[in-house]
Amino acid sequence: MNDSTSPDVTRHQPAFVAPSAWRRLSPRAARWCLVVAALGLAVCIAITASPLAKGKADDVGRGANDMTLYSAEVERVAQGEAYYDAIGDELRKQGYPTRSAFNWRTPLLVWLLAALPSPRVGQALLGSLAILLAVWGTCSVARERGLAAGGLAGCLLFGAMLLITGDAYFLPVMWAGVLIGISLCAYNSRQPTAAAALGLTALFFRELAAPYCIGAVVLAVRDRRWREVGLWIAGFAAYAAFYAYHLHEVRARILPTDTAHDGTWWQAGGLAFVISLAQVNSFFLVMPQAAAAVYFALAMLGAASWDSPWGRRVGLTFCGYVATFALVGYEFNQYWGVLISPLFALCAAQSPAAISDLLHRSGLLREGRAAPGQVANGGLNR
């Protein structure tokens, strides 16, 4: 087979699947990519069967305790108690370390749920946002990458968002993850102002949205979208004031007898912790963690093969969080996976086309004759 990309390189692709970045690889490069991908997949699966494995998604675990904590805080604030008095008492009563200000959540979500007629109204609100994300994300992927990728993205997003039917709506990180996903969809629809506003709102819900926000600012500066940059700067200034207020209130309530976590947040959990985050999807919570390892590997492959401007934005966001959480987070922080579960879904949906292109470019699968409804003459049928 010729090592150069021929006009028939994507002939195997059906019209409802857009070719990936791997379609431009030489056969030699494609074979090497397959070897690396196979080795990476084997390592990920091996980790889940080793003592390095992390996460307790199949246990009641810390995530459930966090939802109990936040529910109690909402109930007390709804009855008129000051947020910081309620959270300090509940943290100590339920055995949480309170010496570090990072263990005291910012108040936005508790204030919101306490102000509503019932916390279930907040669940309905988050559910509506999750439906918007699932529909918008599915349509965005389908429009750009084909119906097959769009359908797969929709299924995976459904699994990620299905967690809202439980008590996950009490988790600020869940709200932040949904808002980040919608923000990414807004960027794809060329609505950068709305995207920035959504990203900043996610930041106010949970500081773990900061990597996404910082990455968005860098891309806005690169593209010279100064109006968007100005919005981000104004939002960061407002958040700095909000967080300074939060620190002031927390420090006034920390007691000499308060305890702290052993060690620091820099746990360097590596691939084992990141794979445990991939498991935080309704589909994978009922499967062995090895299935989540495959999911993670496919998401990484999909992110690497997605070469459109929006795909690079989603992929860079996903890889940025993978790198961050490989360094930061205790094992009991597995529920942070809800923050990036939409990113897993969007990236993993690109993997079938990537694998197909690698197999065909490597010569392991033959190019077939273009059938009706298939790509011919080097491009998608129009």
Residue spans per domain, the chain: 62-265+341-349
Percentages helix, strand, coil for the chain (3-state, rounded to 5) are 70, 0, 30
pLDDT, averaged in runs of 10, over the chain (382 residues): 40 56 90 95 95 69 70 96 96 91 94 96 97 97 92 96 90 97 97 97 97 97 96 98 97 91 83 95 94 97 94 96 94 93 97 93 71 38 34
What does DSSP assign to residue 258? Answer: -
d(CA 357, CA 373) in angstroms, rounded, equals: 18
Nearest residue to 277 (alpha-carbon basis) of 323, 319, 340, 330: 340
Return the closest-CA partner of residue 140 out of 378, 381, 350. 350
What's the confidence (pLDDT) of residue 374? 40
Quote the pLDDT of residue 18: 72
Answer for the pair 172, 105: CB distance below 8 angstroms, yes or no: yes
Query: pLDDT value at position 58?
Result: 52
Predicted local confidence at residue 5, as pLDDT: 38
Whole-number Å distance between alpha carbons of 250 and 278: 32
| Residues in CB range of 280: below 8 A, 6 or more apart | 57, 160, 163, 334, 335, 336, 337, 338, 341
SS3 call for 266:
strand
pTM value is 0.89
- The pLDDT value given to residue 268: 87
The pLDDT of residue 120 is: 95
Residues 6 or more apart in contact with residue 218 via CB below 8 angstroms? none
For residue 206, the model assigns a pLDDT of 96
